[in-house]
């Protein structure tokens, strides 16, 4: 009999054997008394609802449980083949009950939810998608990207990917959490607090949408949570920095002080740096980040955390939209994920990599951007910053492939989880061999060999880092000279990601 068969039989035995020869066993959470379990059973019988079985809680699992979890999932599929599809739960749309909290066009805001019975971990994800900051570019956005301003055509279900996936293979440490995807339909970097009126053609209620979603989720099991991870990408990543403390304060005020609120900001750590070429502030793409946010915060009636606001003069609240300025004021722990050569940052800085040879000035600007970003992250306790040219990562299928110094992003997040659990428990120092401050030191875009694939925009063919640099018009001979290296040595270093 094979080892796998024995393990399955053992698991079947655990499911079958129970006190007094009962055909199923109700597992209690640690610390739950028999009387409490009996009371729960009585309530269940009174309401006609089945007793919830196997409320497994993996909030603080030590070590790597991936293979064990895969076996549990496989076993469940074999025991319940008719409902095996339910294991690949899609997230289902819920429009907010309070219809006064709306998208830009006045349609109700909402969220997608996939519950995971028994898990006390909740992941709330804020979608990204730029912003608009005046009537003209909001009208253009409504004509071209209506999904980001209205809920009228949202699908009923959504499949989670990356950190929102229910597949252990794709999401090794969070697949079992309660998943919430909050669509971005406020165009205000999740900061607005103004409703639609005769005076205001559009509503900007991003901050209020988050508060309302949290309020509704409390009635759907969030009240029993141990950990709430507020995550987001791009504008959603900046939204995490602006809202994570507010969510923690909201839950405390509601009487749920025991919930540990944390943040995960992906590709939302922007710099208020000088553009490569200054242009007039005409639209979202050409406008310098500082000017766009200055205009936007007034147009949206945007709100920022009080602790950050107090660091700046009145009218200078826009500073709080930039990660390195708001991060020191945050109370909640936040993990920052940021490409060193972020495509959105380069776009607003007017560096457009269109396949044409890059000028020397652009090349030096790009290198300097990487250095500046690296410097802003040096005091961030938990960070993951690969030297890649890309934008967004945590909801991508390939998010497990990217590594910094030999550690993948899911592994770094797991280490962070464990370090927070241990420090809450007994003040231990971070675990050895489990790094959480991971920043690439190589100086060029895509010098990390695990970076996402780059394709030639004309042929569609994949390019390695050397082909990419030559394609962009970089002079390897000159680069080697600048670094004081032989060209062959430089090419070898680029190939290996040194």
Give the model's pLDDT for residue 496: 53
E strand or H helix at 372? helix 360-376
Query: For the ranges 277-286, 360-369, 454-463, which has the lowest average pLDDT?
Result: 454-463
25, 50, 178, 212 from 44: Cα distances, Å: 16, 6, 22, 29
User: Do the beta carbons of residue 73 and residue 87 sit within 8 Å?
Assistant: yes
User: Do the beta carbons of residue 193 and residue 301 sit within 8 Å?
Assistant: yes
Query: Mind listing the pLDDT tens digit for each residue in 174-203?
Result: 999 999 999 999 999 999 999 887 677 899
The answer on pLDDT for 144 being more than 90 is yes
In this structure, whether the domain defined by 88-448 belongs to CATH 3.40.50 is answered with yes
End-to-end CA distance of the chain: 48
Beta-sheet pairing, 389-390 with 382-385: unpaired
Nearest 5°: phi and psi at 260?
-85, 115
Active site residues: 234, 342, 391
Q: Residue 21 — very low, low, confident or very high, per pLDDT cuts 50/70/90? A: very low
Q: What is the mean pLDDT of residues 27-55?
A: 43
The answer on pLDDT for 82 being more than 50 is no
Q: Residue 109 — very low, low, confident or very high, per pLDDT cuts 50/70/90? A: very high
Give the model's pLDDT for residue 354: 62
Give the residue extent of every domain in the chain.
88-448, 453-497
pTM of the predicted model as reported, rounded to 2 decimal places = 0.79
Give the model's pLDDT for residue 443: 84
Residues in contact with 225: Cβ distance below 8 Å, sequence separation at least 6, in sequence order = 120, 121, 122, 178, 256, 259
The answer on pLDDT for 495 being more than 90 is no
Give the model's pLDDT for residue 362: 85
Q: Residue 72 — very low, low, confident or very high, per pLDDT cuts 50/70/90? A: low
């Amino acid at each position: 009999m094979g080892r796998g068969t024995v393990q399955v039989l053992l698991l079947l035995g655990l499911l079958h054997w129970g006190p007094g020869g009962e055909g199923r066993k109700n597992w209690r959470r640690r610390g739950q008394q028999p009387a409490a379990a009996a009371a729960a059973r009585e309530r269940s019988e009174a309401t006609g609802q089945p007793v919830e079985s196997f409320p497994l809680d993996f909030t603080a699992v030590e070590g790597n449980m991936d293979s064990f979890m895969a076996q549990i999932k496989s076993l469940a599929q074999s025991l319940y083949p008719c409902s095996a599809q339910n294991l690949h739960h899609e997230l289902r749309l819920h429009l907010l009950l309070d219809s006064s909290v709306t998208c830009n066009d006045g349609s109700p805001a909402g969220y997608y939810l996939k519950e995971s019975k028994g898990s006390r971990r909740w992941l709330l994800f804020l979608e990204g998608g730029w912003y608009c900051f005046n009537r003209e570019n909001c009208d253009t956005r409504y004509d071209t990207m209506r999904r980001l301003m209205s809920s009228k055509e949202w699908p009923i279900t959504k499949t989670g990917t990356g950190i929102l996936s229910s597949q252990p293979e794709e999401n090794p440490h969070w697949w079992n959490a309660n998943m919430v995807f909050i669509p971005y339909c406020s165009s205000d970097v999740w900061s607005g607090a103004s409703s639609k009126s005769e005076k205001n053609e559009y509503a900007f209620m991003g901050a209020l949408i988050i508060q309302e979603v949290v309020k509704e989720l409390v009635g759907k099991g969030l009240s029993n949570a141990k950990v709430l991870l507020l995550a987001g990408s791009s504008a959603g990543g900046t939204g995490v920095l602006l809202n994570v403390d507010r969510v923690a304060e909201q839950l405390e005020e509601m009487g749920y002080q025991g919930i540990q609120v944390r943040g995960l900001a992906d590709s939302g750590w922007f710099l208020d740096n000088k553009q490569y070429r200054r242009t007039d502030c005409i639209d979202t793409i050409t406008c310098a980040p500082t000017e766009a946010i200055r205009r936007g915060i007034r147009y949206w009636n945007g709100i920022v955390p009080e602790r950050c606001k107090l660091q700046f003069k009145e009218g200078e609240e826009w500073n709080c939209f930039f990660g390195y300025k708001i991060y020191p004021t945050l109370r909640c722990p936040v993990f920052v994920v940021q490409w060193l050569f972020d495509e959105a940052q380069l776009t607003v800085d007017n560096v457009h990599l269109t396949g044409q040879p890059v000028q020397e000035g652009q090349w030096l600007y790009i290198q300097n951007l990487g250095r500046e970003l690296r410097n802003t992250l040096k005091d961030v306790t938990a960070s993951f910053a690969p030297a890649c040219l890309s934008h967004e990562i945590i909801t991508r299928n390939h998010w497990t492939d990217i590594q910094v110094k030999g550690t993948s992003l899911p592994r770094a997040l797991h280490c962070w989880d464990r370090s927070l659990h241990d420090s809450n428990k007994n003040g231990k120092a971070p675990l050895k061999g489990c790094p959480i401050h991971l920043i690439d030191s190589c100086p060029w875009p895509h010098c990390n060999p695990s970076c996402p694939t780059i394709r030639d925009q004309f042929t569609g063919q994949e390019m390695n880092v050397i082909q990419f640099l030559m394609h962009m018009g970089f002079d390897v001979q000159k680069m080697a000279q600048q670094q004081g290296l032989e060209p062959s040595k430089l090419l070898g270093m680029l190939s290996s990601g040194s």
